[in-house]
Amino acid sequence: MKIKLLLIAFIYFVQLANINAQQNIATDSITKKEEKPKEKKWYDNFSIRGYAQVRYNRLFETNDSLRCEQCDRSWGLDGGFFLRRMRVIISGNVHDRVYIYIQPDFASSASSTGLHFGQLRDAYFDVSLDKKKEFRFRFGQSKIPFGFENMQSSQNRLPLDRNDALNSSLSNERDMGIFFYWAPEKIRKRFASLVNDGLKGSGDYGVFGIGAYNGQTANKPESNDAPHIVTRLSYPFEFKNGQIFEAGFQAYTGEYVLTSDQISSGVKINKDKTYLDQRMAASFVLYPKPFGIQAEYNVGKGPEYNPKTDSIETQNLTGGYITMSYMVKLKNQILIPFVRGQYYDGGKKHETDARSYKVNEMELGIEWQPYKNFEIVAMWTMSERRFEDYKLPVNNQKGSLLRLQFQMNY
């Protein structure tokens, strides 16, 4: 009898436990449904990254008068170890349709004797017109969509400096303005992968872009009432074998105003200091899978010093470059040997007296990435440069040197 009572009690408690367990499960399920996912704050979408470059240019140097002001101010006489860039990039979506990008550089040169000053490079925000973000407007200081290598980050570029021919169009590649960009969602992802996969892409500046900007180059105020107008068309074609080829065409037009600090006393100039500034260029890029080719050429008009008349005149300009490379992957390491030839004949409007240039240069180099966060570039430069202004109306320099760069990515 006692055994039966114990069995009945055991069965009763087992059933009671099952009922309680089912009730708890139901309660938990209701609670989970009632709990709302935590809403992300706008600052949760931000990322902070950057890179730094340290250079040395004096190895096997044959002519310390060979210089390139726009390229690297540690070239030539008295040059030593040099912090070329120290960038910190803050970016992210503050809203589903609003993206911001801020990039200061802490290796700017305030003067020939003052180094490592902070200066703004980028400060802009993109506003998307649709959910896929295929149509967007960009407001602020950013890179001007002219030239593939101009838009390519220095973090990704193989040669240590941008080519003279297209880079002479824009000091620091940037200016203040408003731009419209369009690209299908699929192509935007392709642009992103060309950078993220280490293929030295230029970033996403749309398949089509058009905009208006001041025209006086980065961190300088506008000096007339007429903005520059720029437009660009570029498309990365992907073939069945995975190879990607990008073709582009770009052009801009405007009027550039020389400022007093750019003009030597005694130089003849236009009364209003205003000069026609317009160019057009073609770009062709075969991404390194493993063999790569990158080539660009531009023609146009702009201010240029004329040593025969001691005056700054609107003159024709022309020039371009071609870079060939080969990517070798050795386990987790990457080696990329490359060669670049470049030519430019024209003025540089942002330098003293719109300095007149003629450049013939060949560079042989190799980039070694022992791991993702550290890169070394060694580059042998053979150069002949004529760069003339009022102070040096006859100045043709020829020489060679070995250049080194150590880059940290973080």
String of b and e for 335-356 (b: at least 16 CB within 10 Å)? ebebbbbbbbbbbbbbbbbbbb
Q: Which CATH architecture has domain 58-409?
A: Beta Barrel (2.40)
d(CA 61, CA 67): 11
Q: Using pLDDT thresholds of 50, 70 and 90, give the confidence band for residue 16.
A: very low
Q: Which residues contact 353 (CB under 8 A, 6 or more apart)?
A: 262, 263, 264, 267, 305, 312, 389, 390
**What mean pLDDT is predicted for residues 214-222?**
95
pLDDT at 37: 66
**What mean pLDDT is predicted for residues 139-165?**
98
d(CA 281, CA 249): 6
Q: Using pLDDT thresholds of 50, 70 and 90, give the confidence band for residue 101.
A: very high
Identify the CA nearest to 351 among candidates 280, 290, 261, 291. Answer: 261
**Is residue 46's pLDDT more than 90?**
no
**What mean pLDDT is predicted for residues 203-226?**
96
Q: Which residues contact 295 (CB under 8 A, 6 or more apart)?
A: 283, 284, 285, 320, 321, 322, 323
pLDDT at 6: 41
CA atoms 158, 161, 166, 170: torsion sign: positive
**What mean pLDDT is predicted for residues 334-344?**
98
Give the position of tokens 């320099």. Answer: 397
The SS3 assignment for 42 reads helix
Angle at 50 between CA 45 and CA 54, to 5 degrees: 175
Q: Is 375 exposed, middle or buried (0-12, 13-18, 19+ CB in 10 A)?
A: buried
Contact, 105 vs 51, CB < 8 A?
no
Q: Among 37-41, 51-55, 74-78, 290-294, which stretch is predicted with the lowest mean pLDDT?
A: 37-41
DSSP letter string, 367-394: EEEEETTEEEEEEEEEEEEEEE-SS-SS
**What mean pLDDT is predicted for residues 87-100?**
96
Give the position of tokens 């060694």. Answer: 378
pLDDT at 44: 80
**What mean pLDDT is predicted for residues 358-365?**
98
pLDDT at 7: 43
Give the position of tokens 């408003």. Answer: 178
**Is residue 13's pLDDT more than 90?**
no
Q: What would the two tokens of residue 101 be?
A: 């990008």
Read off the DSSP letter of residue 71. Answer: T
Q: What are phi and psi of 165, to 5 degrees?
A: -60, -50
Q: Percent of the chain, pLDDT > 90? A: 83
**What mean pLDDT is predicted for residues 158-163?**
98
Per-residue model confidence as pLDDT tens digits over 23-35: 554 555 544 455 5
Identify the CA nearest to 349 among candidates 250, 239, 220, 242. Answer: 220
Q: Using pLDDT thresholds of 50, 70 and 90, give the confidence band for residue 38.
A: confident
For 191, the enclosing helix (H) or strand (E) is: helix 185-196
Per-residue model confidence as pLDDT tens digits over 237-284: 999 999 999 999 999 999 999 999 999 999 999 999 999 999 999 999
Highest mean pLDDT among 112-116, 261-265, 356-360: 356-360
Averaged pLDDT score across all residues of the chain = 91
pLDDT at 18: 52
d(CA 359, CA 398): 10
The SS3 assignment for 183 reads coil
pLDDT at 40: 72
3-state helix, strand, coil in the chain (%, to 5): 15, 50, 35
Angle at 232 between CA 224 and CA 176, to 5 degrees: 35
d(CA 214, CA 216): 6
Give the position of tokens 């993702």. Answer: 372
Read off the DSSP letter of residue 287. Answer: -
Q: Using pLDDT thresholds of 50, 70 and 90, give the confidence band for residue 313.
A: very high
**Is residue 336's pLDDT more than 90?**
yes
